[in-house]
C-alpha cells in the first residue's frame, strides 16, 4: 500500500506504512547520473554526491554529518548510477525528524568548499584506481562500453581520471542548479510512520525549495549489426569474462519475461549456468547472469571468472545455454524460477530500506509504482511461449558483445565463437 503527494513546487512524496517495524528509511532520489553528462563532464553527478557529505552551512564537516546519524544508531549513505542519484538514511522511528533534517541540509545547503572539492577529487581518483585494479569490476565497466560505445550509457559513472581532474566547482554548482530541483526529485519513506506526518515534515523541510527545469538525459544509440569484442590484457590468474546482449527498457512490457529468463539462465545455485559451467564441467568458480533495465534500453550480462586456457571452452558452453533458452523450457523449471523470483522479491520487502528503494526508483524513472502483488501476478501469468518468443527475439548473433580482462591475446578464435 503506497501513498503519494505532490507539493506545489513539484516535489513528489511517496510512503509505505510498515507499522510492524521499529525503523524508518528515508530515500531522496534525484534525476542525476552519467546519462545526464556529456563527455567532458563525465563523473560530475558522482562528484556532487560525494561533496554533499562534506559539510553544510549548519554541519560544517563530514564528521558532524555522520555523527548526527551514527550518534543515534542510524545509517547514512549515497549512491550514483547512470540514471539517478540516491541519498538514504535509516534510523529508529523516534529519530525520523533528525534524519530528515540531515538529508535536507545536505541536499539544499552543502557548502562545496573549494578545499574539500580538491581533497575529494583525489579521493575519487583513488576510487577509480581501485576499479582499475579490480578485474571483475573493470570487466563490468568494459562490457557497457562495448554494448553502448561512445555514449553516456556506456561510460563509467565515476568518469575517468582525466575528466575528474578537469571538473570545476563552477560546473558542479551549475549542474546542481539544474538537476537538483523539486520536479526532478522524489522523497520515498518506508517504516512505522503515517503519510500525513511525512507530508507535514517534508513540507516544512522542502516546501520553499525553488523550482527549475532539469536537463534531459542522453538517449541510447542501440544500433548494432555484428558482434563486438574488447580485450584488455592483464597479468592475472583468471580471465574475467562478460558476455553481454542488449535487452529491454524499464517500461518494456516484456521486461518481466526477460527477468524470468535470466533467473532460469544464471541466478542462483540451481540455475542452468551454475549447474552446467561450474558443477558439471568445472570451468568456473563464479558464474552468474543479471539484467539491467534503463529508461530506453537494457542488457543481460553473463559474468564468469575462468582459467585463461579455458576461456574458449567457457564461452562455447555459455552460448550453448543461451541457445537452449530459445527451446521449450520444462514446466517444472519455469515454476521453480517463478517461485524463486517471487520469493526473493517478497523477502526483500520486509526491510524498510528495500521498500523505500522500490518506491523511489519506480516513481522517479517511470512515474508509476507497481505493488509487489502486481508484480507477483505478472510473473505468475508469464506463459512458456512468451519465454520462447522473447529469447528468440533477443538472443541473436548480431546482439552479442564480449569483454575480457586477463592474460589473453588474439581475437580471431573468440570472434569465430560468437554465434547464436
Beta carbons within 8 Å of 380's beta carbon, 6+ residues apart: 338, 342
Nearest to 318 by CA among 273, 269, 270, 285: 273
> Do 88 and 17 meet the contact criterion of CB atoms below 8 Å apart?
no
Which of the residues 37, 49, 83, 321 is marked catalytic?
49
Q: Is 100 exposed, middle or buried, given 0-12, 13-18 or 19+ CB atoms closer than 10 A? A: buried
**Residue appearing with cell numbers 510498515:** 18
**Residue appearing with cell numbers 548480431:** 398
- In the DSSP assignment, the letter for residue 110 is B
| CA distances from residue 147 to 15, 111, 120, 142, 143 in whole angstroms, order as listed | 36, 38, 31, 9, 6
φ/ψ region of 27 (left if φ > 0, alpha if ψ in -120 to 50, else beta) reads: beta
Instruction: Identify the bridge partners of residue 89 per DSSP, sorted by sequence position.
Output: 26, 76
- Cα separation of 260 and 325, whole Å? 11
Residue 279 known to be catalytic: no
> Do 261 and 333 meet the contact criterion of CB atoms below 8 Å apart?
no
Query: Beta strand pairing status for 23-30 and 228-233?
Result: unpaired
Supply the residues annotated as catalytic: 49
Amino acid at each position: 500500500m503506497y501513498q503519494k503527494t505532490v507539493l506545489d513546487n513539484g516535489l513528489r512524496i511517496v510512503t509505505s506504512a510498515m507499522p510492524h517495524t521499529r525503523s524508518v528509511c528515508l530515500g531522496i532520489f534525484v534525476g542525476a547520473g552519467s546519462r545526464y553528462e556529456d563527455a567532458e563532464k563525465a563523473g560530475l553527478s558522482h562528484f556532487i554526491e560525494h561533496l554533499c557529505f562534506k559539510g553544510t552551512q549548519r554541519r560544517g564537516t563530514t564528521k558532524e554529518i555522520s555523527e548526527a546519524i551514527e550518534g543515534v544508531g542510524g545509517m547514512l549513505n549515497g549512491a550514483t548510477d547512470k540514471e539517478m542519484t540516491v541519498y538514504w538514511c535509516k534510523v529508529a522511528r523516534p529519530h525520523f525528524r533528525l534524519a530528515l533534517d540531515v538529508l535536507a541540509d545536505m541536499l539544499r545547503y552543502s557548502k562545496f568548499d573549494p578545499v574539500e572539492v580538491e581533497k575529494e577529487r583525489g579521493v575519487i581518483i583513488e576510487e577509480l584506481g581501485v576499479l582499475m585494479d579490480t578485474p571483475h569490476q573493470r570487466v563490468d565497466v568494459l562490457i557497457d562500453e562495448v554494448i553502448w560505445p561512445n555514449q553516456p550509457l556506456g561510460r563509467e559513472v565515476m568518469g575517468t581520471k582525466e575528466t575528474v581532474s578537469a571538473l570545476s566547482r563552477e560546473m558542479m554548482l551549475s549542474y546542481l542548479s539544474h538537476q537538483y530541483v523539486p520536479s526532478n526529485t522524489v522523497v520515498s519513506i518506508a517504516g512505522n510512520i503515517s503519510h500525513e506526518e511525512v507530508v507535514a515534515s517534508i513540507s516544512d523541510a522542502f516546501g520553499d525549495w525553488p523550482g527549475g527545469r532539469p536537463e534531459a538525459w542522453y538517449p541510447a544509440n542501440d544500433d548494432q549489426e555484428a558482434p563486438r569484442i574488447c580485450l584488455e590484457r592483464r597479468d592475472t590468474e583468471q580471465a574475467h569474462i562478460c558476455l553481454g546482449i542488449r535487452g529491454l527498457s524499464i517500461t518494456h512490457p516484456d521486461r518481466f519475461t526477460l527477468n524470468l529468463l535470466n533467473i532460469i539462465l544464471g541466478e542462483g545455485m540451481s540455475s542452468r549456468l551454475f549447474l552446467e559451467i561450474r558443477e558439471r564441467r568445472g570451468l568456473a568458480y563464479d558464474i552468474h547472469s543479471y539484467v539491467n533495465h534503463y529508461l530506453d534500453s537494457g542488457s543481460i550480462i553473463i559474468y564468469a571468472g575462468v582459467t585463461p586456457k579455458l576461456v574458449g571452452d567457457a564461452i562455447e558452453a555459455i552460448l550453448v545455454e543461451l541457445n537452449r533458452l530459445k527451446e521449450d523450457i520444462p514446466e517444472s523449471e519455469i515454476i521453480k524460477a517463478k517461485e524463486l523470483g517471487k520469493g526473493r522479491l517478497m523477502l526483500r520487502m520486509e526491510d524498510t530500506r528495500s521498500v523505500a528503494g522500490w518506491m523511489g526508483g519506480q516513481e522517479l524513472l517511470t512515474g508509476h509504482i507497481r505493488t509487489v502483488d502486481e508484480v507477483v501476478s505478472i510473473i505468475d501469468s508469464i506463459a512458456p511461449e512468451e519465454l520462447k518468443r522473447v529469447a528468440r527475439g533477443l538472443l541473436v548473433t548480431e546482439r552479442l558483445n564480449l569483454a575480457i580482462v586477463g592474460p589473453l591475446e588474439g581475437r580471431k578464435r573468440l570472434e569465430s565463437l560468437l554465434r547464436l
